[in-house]
């Protein structure tokens, strides 16, 4: 469709289906040689958060809907790569677990061996875990944060040397609108993981800017396999295990739009045309693309009389530091 990424090598983690698949295809359509990735070949398509015990709690009608919808999201790195090749573009699948440092190196090195380098890294891989804080186990915490930011770091750590050789590179990390926390969510580990992906992107944007390497993050809201999880999860768990305070999904299934609508924007961020876009965070939903403002100090207070005391803080803070203040749950 275009030639904006001709000659570039792009590695897209989590590109077996959903958002990653749409982005991998968009990159290929602009001329990139794409290495697709997910952990392993998919043997059976299932929703990650709905095990057999939870499925058994669905009504007949809900179960019918589940099986119909989940079939729409089958696929893995090879099926995505094949779709790209069948369309006349270049792609190779590379299975591997990015949460393992050494395995991440093998993924990156394989991409370089096949296509000569790694110019673009787009990390889309992710893990979910729905639980209020007192129900989060160490295993769940490690599972979710092990993918991002840790898995993202693993891939980037091994890819940056290839980018440095060319003095050119694009790093784009997938976060979530949930990264700002607060509100209805009962998913502290997921919020933390995505805030980490944003923080990693900001750090790299500053560190690598002088070498022609940019780093940005995007926060998608789209209809994917995870949307099936979110639509049904709170309907089949006890009240103290719900993923939101309201018991309603973060985004209702029917309100979701396919990721193909915004995938070209991610390809744009990976292009020469976006050389000056660095350290930014975007929200992408359907054809809507928004740019988050960067954090800044909104108010201050300062003691002219030496150390603060509690009484002095109580006297000063309401008219300075907390003037016009609203907490995260206030509108």
Lowest mean pLDDT among 65-79, 194-208, 239-253: 239-253
- According to the 3-state scheme, what is the secondary structure of 204-265? HHHHHHHHCEEEEEEEECCCCHHHHHHHHHHHCCCHHHCCECCCCCCCCHHHCCCHHHCHHH
Pairing state between β 120-123 and 91-93: unpaired
The answer to whether the CB of 125 falls within 8 A of the CB of 147 is: yes
Q: What strand order describes the sheet that includes 9-13?
A: 91-93, 33-37, 9-13, 120-123, 169-174, 213-220, 281-285, 288-291
- Which residues make beta-bridge pairs with 122? 12, 172
pLDDT in the model for residue 148: 97
Name the least confident of 45-59, 109-123, 173-187, 209-223: 45-59
| Amino acid 250: pLDDT | 76
pTM here is 0.94
SS3 95: coil
Range 71-89 average pLDDT: 95
Instruction: Please provide the average confidence, as pLDDT, over all residues in the chain.
Output: 94
pLDDT at 244: 85
What is the rounded distance in angstroms from the CA atom of residue 14 to the CA atom of residue 16? 6
pLDDT in tens, 53-70: 898 999 999 999 998 998
Find the range with the poorest average confidence among 49-63, 71-85, 112-126, 314-328.
49-63
Cis preceding linkage at 149, omega within 30: yes
Residue 331 scores a pLDDT above 80:
no
- Residues 6 or more apart whose CB falls under 8 angstroms from that of 137 comprise 131
Residue 167: CB atoms within 10 Å: 10
pLDDT higher at 184 or 320: 320
- pLDDT at residue 52, as a whole number: 87
What mean pLDDT do residues 252-280 have? 96
- Tell me the C-alpha distance between 251 and 49, whole Å: 16
Q: Give residue 46's pLDDT.
A: 77
| pLDDT band with cut points at 50, 70 and 90 for residue 248 | confident
């Amino acid at each position: 469709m275009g030639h904006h990424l001709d000659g570039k090598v792009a590695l897209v983690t989590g590109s077996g289906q959903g958002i990653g698949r749409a982005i991998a295809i968009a990159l290929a359509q602009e001329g990139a040689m794409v290495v697709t990735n997910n952990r392993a070949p998919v043997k059976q398509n299932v929703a990650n958060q709905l095990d057999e015990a939870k499925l058994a709690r669905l009504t007949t009608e809900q179960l019918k809907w589940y099986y119909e919808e989940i079939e729409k999201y089958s696929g893995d790195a090879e099926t995505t790569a094949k779709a790209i090749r069948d369309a006349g573009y270049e792609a190779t699948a590379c299975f591997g677990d990015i949460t393992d440092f050494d395995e991440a190196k093998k993924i990156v090195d394989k991409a370089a061996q096949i296509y000569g380098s790694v110019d673009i890294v787009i990390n889309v891989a992710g893990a979910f875990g729905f639980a209020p804080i007192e129900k989060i186990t160490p295993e769940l915490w490690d599972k979710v944060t092990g993918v991002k930011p840790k898995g993202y770091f693993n891939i980037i750590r091994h890819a940056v040397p290839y980018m440095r050789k060319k003095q050119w590179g694009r790093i784009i990390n997938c976060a979530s609108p949930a990264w700002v926390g607060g509100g209805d969510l009962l998913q502290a580990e997921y919020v933390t993981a995505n805030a980490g992906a944003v923080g990693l992107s900001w750090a790299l944007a500053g560190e690598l800017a002088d070498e022609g390497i940019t780093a940005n993050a995007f926060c998608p809201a789209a209809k994917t396999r995870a949307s099936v999880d979110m639509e049904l999860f709170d309907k089949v768990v006890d009240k103290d295990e719900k993923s939101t305070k309201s018991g309603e999904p973060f985004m209702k299934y029917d309100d979701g739009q396919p990721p193909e609508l915004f995938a070209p924007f991610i390809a744009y961020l990976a292009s020469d045309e976006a050389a000056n876009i660095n350290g930014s965070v975007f929200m992408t939903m359907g054809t809507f693309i928004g740019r988050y403002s960067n954090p800044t100090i909104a108010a201050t207070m300062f003691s002219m009389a030496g150390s603060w005391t509690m009484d002095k803080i109580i006297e000063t803070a309401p008219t300075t530091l907390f003037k016009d203040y609203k907490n995260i749950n206030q509108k």
